[in-house]
Amino acid sequence: MNTITLDITNIFSEQIGREGLDGAALAEAFPNLETYNNDLRHSPYPFMKLPETRFQFHEMKSLAEKIKAQGIKNLVLLGIGGSSLGTETIFNALLHPFHNYGREFRGEAPRYFILDNIDPHKINSIIEVIEPEIEKTFLVVISKSGETPETISQFMIFKELLKKSGGNFQERIILITGKEKGILNKIAEKEGYQTLNLPDGVGGRFSVLTPVGMFPAILMGIAVDEIMDGAQAMSSHIQNKAGMENMAFVLSATLYNMDKSGKPIHVIMPYCERLSGFADWFKQLEGESIGKGGFGPTPTKSVGVTDQHSQLQLYVDGPKDKCIMLFYAAQDKRPIPDSFPYLDDVSYLAGKDLKDLFHAEFQGTCLSLTEANTANFTLFLEDINAYTLGVLFCLFEMVTVFLGTLYKVNAFDQPGVEQGKIYTKAIMGKKEFESEGAKIEAILSSPKKIIAFT
């Protein structure tokens, strides 16, 4: 049930003509990747050790048991980017899609609210929902530095709400941050909050297998050890397989060569709504890690079958600047009844199964893309479970690392993001950023071209 198969048939020129790759293009990347992979065996990045070390698993499980004993009804997670996308991916993939709608869907687990934006309307709406049960609400605050203005401002708001609920409200707040240093550690020491940590050297977008993703998952009763087992199995595969047998090599070489052959737009298109969150997670991972120095692919997201009726026209009949990365997984069945026996136009559906129609839609997309000479490849998953999700996390983290070496960029920094943070802090009046004031004023006071409708 845990098999994952990669089919790259439809990326080659034999299948899609001049828009396809020559098989030698992939092979040319393998020596570089082999050398880099050998180096990583002796000196792995810190995130690569997580499936084996299972950082702070004992502490997380012990803490989660104490929290569950409090009868928590709402889990509010404050974090943005890498601090939230991994958890969102796990919840979307492994919890009931209507988890928050009732106990019949979630059992004894709490409702969850992941606040990855500071839109005041959304914040006010969440507060409206949880305030009647604020004394049964648990807050998880995630920021490696503690200085993320979005997260710290949310914390300031929700802390005061919990404080008004009375009792030892500190027991219903946990901070997940970097070790020892940082603002959240200062706050925790001063006000008595419990903390979990990010391991040294693990950045936000590579943090899903740390307490950032694992602790909320434990609170929801998700089998985190199975996630780690899957990640560990894929890690072993990547370390021990060579050339075309190494799935991470093939994927990274494919994505790199697609960009270099004029297809810089990487469309992540899961035929499985449970992997919609995974597409968002990988969008950040690839975009923020590789988009540097004027180069890098542009990841985007579609969902089958929904986007067959919106984006597929573009993918088939538009410019050939896209590579479509399909994920397919379907286990559930639902018979289609013969509801309209008097209509010949729909009789072909009667007696079939919705799973069969879903698969036919997927096949139709692949065939139409291939016939239109649009590069596409597919990852087939036998099942979506904790183990296979762990496999995907490890696989695509390593694909991103290998893309970094192919593009010759540092996959672990994000200079373009940092400047926006500096401007935000300067506009909001943070003292050490006063020097940015003149630059900001010059930009904001420049002549505007505005069209208004009233």
Residues with catalytic roles: 288, 309, 421
CB 320 within 8 A of CB 287: no
Are 195 and 174 spatial neighbours (Cβ–Cβ below 8 Å)? yes
> Which residues, in sequence order, are bridge partners of residue 21?
12
The H or E element that residue 88 is part of is helix 85-94
3-state SS assignment for residue 173: strand
Alpha-carbon radius of gyration of the chain = 24
- Structural tokens at position 405: 């070496």
Closest CA to 93 of 332, 303, 386, 392: 386
Cis-peptide into 401, omega within 30 deg: no
CA quadruple 419, 422, 427, 433: dihedral sign = negative
Cα distances (angstroms) measured from residue 133 to each of 98, 153, 205, 401: 20, 22, 32, 43
Instruction: Please tell me the distance from the alpha carbon of residue 449 to that of residue 454, in angstroms, as a whole number.
Output: 17
Task: Give residue for tokens 């009792």.
Answer: 167
In degrees and rounded to multiples of 5, residue 133 shows phi and psi of -120, 35
Residues 323, 370 contacting (CB under 8 angstroms): no
The amino acid occupying position 253 is A
Paired residues of 137 in beta bridges: 74
